[in-house]
Amino acid sequence: MAMALNLLMLGPPGAGKGTQAERFARTRGIPKISTGDILREAVHAGTDLGNRAKAVMDRGELVSDDIMIGIVEERLGRDDARSGFVLDGFPRTVPQAVALDRIMAGRDPLIVVDISVPERELVRRLASRMICADCGANGAPGEILCCRCGGQLVQRTDDNDAVVLERLRIYNTSTRPIVDFYRTRSTFRAINGAQPPDTVAAALAAAIEAAGNGNGRMRGGRR
């Protein structure tokens, strides 16, 4: 039986990990699982979870660990994730990473790729990022209408200058330790995200192949 390709994408807000995750998942025929997308869909639908999460996200803060862990565990338990997945936006704290190790116990190795981009470039990217007002999908640079549903693209409420800086501060204090959590694992790789998208995609594919080929018998969970 073929080994499942379980990929975790790390990187700060604006690093392009969502775009690269979606592209890679599409080419490999596995689901892209984005906690950000799940939360934004809940916000758009006006669910209880969505309303609670919206207030937190609009302040540039992180949704609580217990909510995020529950969302991810449920999603990874679905049948379409058994042959592999690309996880984007989780874990964002060390307790979430510990919980993910528990969730991954007994499954094929978790390959972890960190996309690194200088902070100045991150601020520039985030200040110009757009999102669909109807379906919540991220918009491509220079476009005014959503390529998914045709809705109007608007600036994300959590991408104004003040909130961008707060999100990066939170990343540096709360989320960057995740990189240290995974860095010593043989399935960890880091790539330069301050390059053209096609170059980043090629580097991502090469990093995943190297990590997978070198750890064919490694199981999920912390080493």
The SS3 of residue 114 is strand
92-96 mean pLDDT: 90
Query: Where would I find the beta strands (DSSP E) of the chain?
Result: 5-10, 32-34, 84-88, 110-116, 130-132, 153-155, 188-192
Q: What is the pLDDT of residues 50-89, one digit of tens each?
A: 787 788 878 878 778 887 888 788 888 889 999 999 999 8
Percent of the chain with pLDDT over 70: 89
Residue in 32, 54, 156, 185 annotated catalytic: 156
Confirm whether 223 is domain-assigned.
no
Which of 92, 125, 185, 189 is catalytic? The answer is 92
Catalytic residue list contains 17: yes
Q: 93 is in which domain, residue-wise? A: 5-213
Q: Work out how many domains the chain is built from and give that number.
A: 1
Residue 82 appears among annotated catalytic residues = no
Supply the pLDDT for residue 69.
Answer: 85
Model-level pTM?
Answer: 0.74
The enclosing domain of 145 has a CATH number of 3.40.50.300
More confident residue, 14 or 24: 24
* Residue of 40, 75, 167, 189 with catalytic role: 167
Q: Is 92 annotated as catalytic?
A: yes
**What gap in Å lies between CA 39 and CA 8, rounded to an integer?**
18
> Mind listing the pLDDT tens digit for each residue in 147-163?
778 888 887 665 567 77
Q: Is residue 101 part of a domain?
A: yes
156 is catalytic: yes
